[in-house]
Structure 1
């Protein structure tokens, strides 16, 4: 058996945890929580048999926790710990079904005695479950566990395996009936919500689904399927098939969608499977998960599997005319490029058929536009996009249409801003920087660089250092190393080839300078990047 200790004083939790001989009692796991909300999260993630809780706590009382436990986990037994033997509190605790209460400071021998008696009551109730109301209450938990085991592959989808499982669990499940799975998935949150709060809100979504998903002549099981999804298993019992059933399921789904948006700030989508035998449910649900994976339009909606199968290809991808857009960017025609991209990503009547394949292809093509832009201006890509925001937006570009649009608009803003800032670059220092970037593979002398801008080498050196902050030679090394790192990360070229491409025809010199500038050898750098890519 397992025990959950709830007390707002950490020292009290530690005292109880260390003062009780749990192994001697036969307790397998001891969980702890410092308030009611933490306790609720423990219940959702761990099997609890006995609740050992303080009554008076600042963030919700033990009595409130017991009320919640009675509703959601009625078979859990509760023992209260309290500093005050106030009659009204004890009376309320007993009314709510607390097994016993213990006064603080605790007598651990008394606590162990109460726990032994509580464990004996649990064992007795379990022995009588076949003929008691507790079995009826436990049945829902057992059925939910069956569906989880079934979809995790722990039970083979054949008649013999299922029959044996139901016989062992004393479940009366119709193997010949028809089932319809409905997958309800949270696609995004309308407000900023912490990871911990998301778990609680998902619990709220499950409760909403249980309350609203009621269809005559059917039985439904609502299961927490993952951190972001709820699964409804609908068993038909003489219910007419076809349009009428689908209409009622869709109505329930839309009620869940509306309630989720209003009450728990979630945008959810519902995916409705096809009627089939229980043996086919794992493959049907796998198809629903594939639908959700390809749904990159994070807007509330209801989708039917049979319609998705008829529309498998989705929106036809077409070439993005990258070459033309590149020329327009040279001409400063940013508004026209943005307009064409908007047309490409939100085509009239086709928006909801855009899938991940489309996003991946568009993202790849758009990156060629960025490379073209930087090549035309003799700069490196990381000069524009080597910061956290760009990387974060790029990661999300292949997950949703909203994510792709955010990244594209960010990239367009960066490119347009670069052109605006650098509209007047015709000065000696800027021309020198451009000349160096265009000749990274050459071994340039100071005289060659100065002759390019028609200045004395010493004078150019002084004004360059004053304006840029580093010497010309240091600037050349920096740019060569940046190019080398790009080539090592983005290409399969050997280190010797990379060295020559950035102007080092002596491998030892390249290796020495690269190691000095980056803190690692070219070989170590390449291995490190490969490990990050593999992850």
Structure 2
């Protein structure tokens, strides 16, 4: 007969950060084998599964179920305590039921369901045959309060209320994956809607690998949810405050144009750069600079063309290409419209001797 044991450590709490999964598999197998040495239970194998689960397959040494359940429970508690002290201060542990090897796949699914229904349980051993799923339902009366605190740009007060909500939920029942999914959806929608109302592209602001990891890990437990919420809310408010500072966004756009004026630049590209809707960015830019983005690009190209015409002997068509115009006729017209001179006339009149 076989039984599965599931371990899900909180990775950030690893006291042995240099240990890879292979080393951890070796340590888990050896420590637990030593604890089970004088019993009728043996450790068959240990293997790792993404995104952070260690599976332990135990086997009965006899052709029957192990009889001393009390001793088995005591050993598993000792094992968890050892892991807490030496490697992971925080971990979840669930033990399956004894059955034939054919039932291992179903047992693994049941253990993961048990994990999803007991996210607030840490550093204890839960047994599948004793576990009763909590009868909790998601009900959140804090949404209007969250919206109000965001409007007032008070991220710490919002996060404090979220923490209290999770604490209360844990006291009244148990935090489950289903509850965290609903909570994360509500919080994300509140923040994204608030940013959208202020012309900020939330999907672009949060489009990075670190945020993706926080979003995924937020369903592992209360601490992970609070970490995700903290980054989401603080970053949203901080960016809102950043774009309200005089010349902050326009300086960033100008720096980008100054570095890339030789390339084809689109307003949408600049909007993605600063996470703003293009029309809103255009209004901010014109208010700060007194000219449109397209005219700023033209001015930059004209100034660089002037330098090349007066300080080098490059052919006119080469100057045109260098400042971002592959169409020589268009470059000539644009240059004359902005200087009053054709490129060649400008060179003859102002070139350095």
Match in the other structure for 1:18: none
Match in the other structure for 2:42: 220
User: Are the equivalent residues in 1 in contact too, given 2:25–2:48 (CA < 8 A)?
Assistant: no
Counterpart selection for 2:70 from 243, 247, 251 = 247
Equivalent-residue separation in structure 2 for 1:323 and 1:205 (angstroms): 47
Match in the other structure for 1:193: 17
User: Are the equivalent residues in 2 in contact too, given 1:204–1:264 (CA < 8 A)?
Assistant: no
Counterpart selection for 1:367 from 188, 192, 198 = 188
Q: Which runs of 5+ in 2 are unaligned?
A: 252-269, 298-353
Q: Does 1:318 align with 2:139?
A: yes
TM-score normalised over the length of structure 1: 0.42
Q: CA deviation at 1:350?
A: 4.2
Equivalences for 1:157-176 in 2 at 5 Å?
A: none
TM-score normalised over the length of structure 2: 0.60
Match in the other structure for 1:345: 166
Match in the other structure for 2:57: 231
Equivalent-residue separation in structure 2 for 1:406 and 1:367 (angstroms): 13
Bigger radius of gyration among the two:
1
Counterpart selection for 1:287 from 81, 96, 110 = 110
Q: CA deviation at 1:409?
A: 0.5
Q: CA deviation at 1:238?
A: 8.5
Counterpart selection for 1:307 from 130, 137, 142 = 130
Counterpart selection for 2:30 from 203, 207, 224 = 207
Q: Which runs of 5+ in 1 are unaligned?
A: 1-178, 475-535
Are the structure 2 counterparts of residues 342 and 202 from structure 1 closer, same or farther at C-alpha, using a change threshold of 3 Å? same
SS in structure 2 of the partner of residue 379 of structure 1 = coil
Are the structure 2 counterparts of residues 387 and 236 from structure 1 closer, same or farther at C-alpha, using a change threshold of 3 Å? same
Equivalences for 1:434-473 in 2 at 5 Å?
A: 440=279, 462-464=289-291, 470-471=293-294
User: Are the equivalent residues in 1 in contact too, given 2:95–2:126 (CA < 8 A)?
Assistant: yes
User: Are the equivalent residues in 2 in contact too, given 1:205–1:264 (CA < 8 A)?
Assistant: no
SS in structure 2 of the partner of residue 353 of structure 1 = coil
Equivalent-residue separation in structure 2 for 1:461 and 1:219 (angstroms): 74
Equivalences for 1:38-49 in 2 at 5 Å?
A: none
Q: CA deviation at 1:198?
A: 2.5
User: Are the equivalent residues in 2 in contact too, given 1:253–1:302 (CA < 8 A)?
Assistant: yes
Q: CA deviation at 1:293?
A: 5.4
Considering Cα pairs closer than 8 Å and 6+ residues apart, tell me whether 1 or 2 has the greater RCO: 2
Equivalent-residue separation in structure 1 for 2:66 and 2:15 (angstroms): 41
SS in structure 1 of the partner of residue 44 of structure 2 = strand
Equivalent-residue separation in structure 2 for 1:295 and 1:393 (angstroms): 20
Match in the other structure for 1:385: 206
Counterpart selection for 2:152 from 331, 334, 340 = 331
Are the structure 2 counterparts of residues 426 and 278 from structure 1 closer, same or farther at C-alpha, using a change threshold of 3 Å? closer
Q: CA deviation at 1:329?
A: 1.4
Query: What is the total number of aligned residue pairs between the two structures?
Result: 267
